[in-house]
A and B are shown apart, each in its own frame.
Chain A
Amino acid sequence: MYNLAESSLIPLLEGALYYTIPLTIISFMIGLTLAVLSAVARISTIKFLQTLSRIYVSIIRGTPLLVQLFIIFYGLPNIGITLDPFPSAIIGFSLNVGAYGSEIIRASILSIPKGQWEAGYSIGMSYTRILQRIILPQAARVSVPPLSNTFISLVKDTSLASLVLVTELFRKAQQIAAKEYNFLLLYIEAAIIYWVICFILSLFQNKIEHRLERFIS
């Protein structure tokens, strides 16, 4: 038993290092970009962009992540789009972070006092410039706590990628467990690794939030 725990540790950590963590980081980066674009579209005065953003957020938030992943990986081949497991997962998770992040960033933008826009206009800045130089940097600070929660959830959600055949941490655990007939041990081991990753992240989260607090007057 102790031997199995020890011998499986390396493959599990490999799964985490090569798949779980890259999957999380890449999806989060792409998702964050989508989130900013979608939030900006949503608060813009252009009806078409508003609607587009609203539909995107509604579809992603209103359907299960697992179903989305299945559509991308198992469904798209029916119309001739065949993607490898890893890119499929990246697309699925990015779209998710984009939609949830969009709402977070939109709320943060709206939380910035109107006076900030007016101060920008009064020195002759344009809408885009104000957004870019004045509003988004402040909204980013407001967004950090909820976005870091999203990030930590994402680490855990990536276990769903096992179902579209990404050999990440949890799939590795499944494979070894099936071979060795010890499900309890392997799944608990996987759980502990997820927990350690999330615990370390939450330490960072506290630190960042502490540092940001002083700017919010």
Chain B
Amino acid sequence: MISINGLVKNFGELEVIKGIDLNIEKGKIVVLIGPSGSGKTTFLRCLNVLETPTEGKIQIDENVLDFSRPVSKKSVAQFRSLTGMVFQSYNLFPHMTALGNVMEGPVTVKKIPKSEARKRAEDLLQKVGLADKIDFYPFQLSGGQQQRVGIARALAMEPKVMLFDEPTSALDPELVGEVLRVMENLAKEGMTMIVVTHEMRFAKDVADEVIFIDGGYIIERGHPDQIFNHPKEERTKQFLSVFE
């Protein structure tokens, strides 16, 4: 369903993603792990085209973006709507209520009538456990609640893939669970997900596949049990030993 071919991203002289090939089937949960600066965020941002890859091809279903030639703004916008992004720092719109945040995309981008968008936004907020907070502004919500609004906002665009960049690492420990539970439920419903996280428990319990990235390459990939209990590569072992 998702296929990534020869993905390269340079920032000027600095090569950050050095050629990644990856296929992900529909409904799979893929967890990306790796040391700081290894390129995990950059990789996710390339899939959402918040960064324009230097080279390579990304395909989601029949939609292809080939970065070996210039891509049009329109095709980028269209491609973006296939992926939903959840940010480490939530990035909610502070001047809009929870409901406003979730309705914004459907109303301004998809041109869905307000009453219908509102109803769907309410359903989504209920799904992430915030039915009683729909009229709250971000500054009135806890970090965990804000992040759940962030998830609902991304879901409102009905993406085919959800991308999570360390969705819980800005949260106080006692708030991590509520966000992970929402993600687990999404996984159970069959959403395809790519998750960058340091929550190894989540990776073990929920992931179909764990990918270890270092220095802009995929070093090792496999079933969580294999990666966590029987890593083949020395670098993977070293990285995981920190989490023992």
Contact = CB atoms under 8 A, between A and B. Distances in A.
Interface size of A as a range:
20 to 34
B105 A121 contact: no
Nearest to A137: B95
Contacts of A215: 94-95, 137, 139
Contacts of A137: 95
Contacts, number: 66
A156 interface: no
A125 B108 contact: yes
A44 interface: no
B139 A217 contact: yes
Interface in B122-153: 137-139, 153
Interface size of B as a range:
20 to 34
Nearest to B137: A215
Contacts of A121: 50, 80
Interface majority SS (helix, strand, loop, mixed), chain A = helix
B138 A125 contact: no
B157 interface: yes
Interface in A29-48: none
Interface in B39-54: 48, 50
A124 interface: yes
A122 B164 CA distance: 12
Interface of A: 113, 115-116, 118-119, 121-126, 129, 133-134, 137-138, 141, 214-217
Interface of B: 48, 50, 73, 77, 80-81, 83-85, 87, 89, 91-95, 104-105, 108-110, 137-139, 153-154, 156-157
17 contacts: A115-B87, A118-B85, A118-B91, A119-B91, A119-B153, A121-B50, A122-B48, A122-B87, A123-B84, A124-B110, A124-B157, A125-B105, A126-B77, A133-B108, A138-B95, A215-B95, A217-B139
